[in-house]
């Protein structure tokens, strides 16, 4: 019987190598399946141009995580879809009138009021579940972020789509070959682009006005 230098049959060595490749590929595929989306109800008739990206909630320990993620997402959504996004000042005014504290999420009744006052067809709400900056190799920063978003009907406030996403900056070097991301802002930008790309693929139509 032929064997390798470690005394194992060559067939066993080949089997182990195949299994190792399968496990590596499965792990990469699992990571690349993010973001995850669930459709609770269909979107209103399209094209949709008026959208309000509401301030995200911050459930992490990272100061200003909500502001970073929501501002970056609003900017990337407008750039990608040419939507008529509600001005931040109008949203802040509605929040003050309803006494909604920064970093908190409005309830369904408040969402209905906000949607009516802003006269928007879709509301985007979100929560930063985790944001942090870990130490990477050679003292570099490896940002980590977990984000959950919802597309809501602008009149009823009801959830239409939900999206969950999780990334760390080093993934883009190890599995996607884009080069590592070293800031939470850069990671927020990349994750926003991935979510928006998924939404377009699932049926959200850019505004063509």
The reported pLDDT for the residue numbered 175 is 54
What is the pLDDT confidence band of residue 102, given thresholds at 50, 70 and 90?
confident
Residue 55 corresponds to which tokens in the numbers above?
A: 């301030």
Q: Please give the Cα distance from 3 to 21 (Å, whole number).
A: 21
Residue range 95-114: mean pLDDT, rounded: 93
Q: Is 126 helix (H, G, I), strand (E, B) or coil?
A: strand
pLDDT classification of 81: cutoffs 50, 70, 90? very high
The CATH architecture one would assign to domain 36-202 is 3-Layer(aba) Sandwich (3.40)
Domain ranges of the chain: 1-33, 36-202
Joined tokens for residue 10: 């060559």
Q: What is the DSSP string of 10-23?
A: HHHHHHHHHHHHHH
28-37, 68-77, 98-107, 181-190: segment of lowest average pLDDT: 28-37
Beta strands in the chain (DSSP E): 36-39, 50-53, 57-58, 84-85, 122-135, 141-153, 159-168
The pLDDT of residue 140 is 83
Mean pLDDT, the chain, as a whole number? 85
Question: Buried b / exposed e across 103-133, counting CB within 10 Å, b at 16+?
Answer: bebbeeebbbebbebbebbbbbbbbbbebeb
pLDDT for 152-183, tens place per residue?
999 999 999 999 999 999 888 755 545 678 89
Q: What gap in Å lies between CA 129 and CA 66, rounded to an integer?
A: 10
Q: What φ, ψ does residue 205 adopt, rounded to 5°?
A: -105, 130
Q: What is the DSSP string of 60-96?
A: SSSTTHHHHHHHHHHHHHHHHH--EEPPHHHHHHHHH
**C-beta separation of 169 from 175 below 8 A:** no
Name the phi and psi angles at 170, rounded to 5: -70, -20
pLDDT value of residue 5: 41
Pick the range with the lowest mean pLDDT from 8-17, 28-37, 76-85: 8-17
pLDDT at 23 over 90: no
């Amino acid at each position: 019987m032929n064997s390798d230098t470690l005394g194992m049959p060559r067939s066993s060595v080949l089997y182990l190598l195949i299994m190792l490749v399968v496990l590596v590929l499965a792990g990469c595929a699992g990571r690349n399946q993010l973001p995850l989306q669930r459709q609770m109800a269909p979107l209103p008739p399209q094209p949709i141009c008026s959208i309000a990206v509401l301030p995200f909630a911050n459930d992490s320990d990272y100061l200003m995580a909500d502001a970073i993620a929501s501002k970056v997402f609003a900017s990337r959504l407008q750039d990608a879809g040419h939507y008529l996004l509600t001005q931040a000042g109008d949203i802040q005014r509605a929040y003050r009138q309803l006494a909604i504290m920064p970093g908190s999420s409005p309830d369904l009744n408040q969402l209905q009021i906000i949607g009516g006052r802003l006269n928007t067809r879709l509301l985007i709400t979100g929560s930063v579940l985790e944001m942090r900056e870990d130490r990477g190799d050679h003292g570099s920063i490896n940002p980590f972020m977990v984000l959950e978003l919802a597309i809501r009907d602008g009149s009823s406030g009801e959830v239409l789509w939900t999206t969950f996403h999780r990334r760390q900056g080093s993934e883009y070097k190890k599995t996607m070959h884009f080069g590592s991301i070293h800031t939470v802002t850069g990671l927020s930008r990349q994750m926003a682009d991935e979510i928006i790309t998924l939404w377009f693929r699932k049926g959200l139509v850019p505004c063509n006005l």
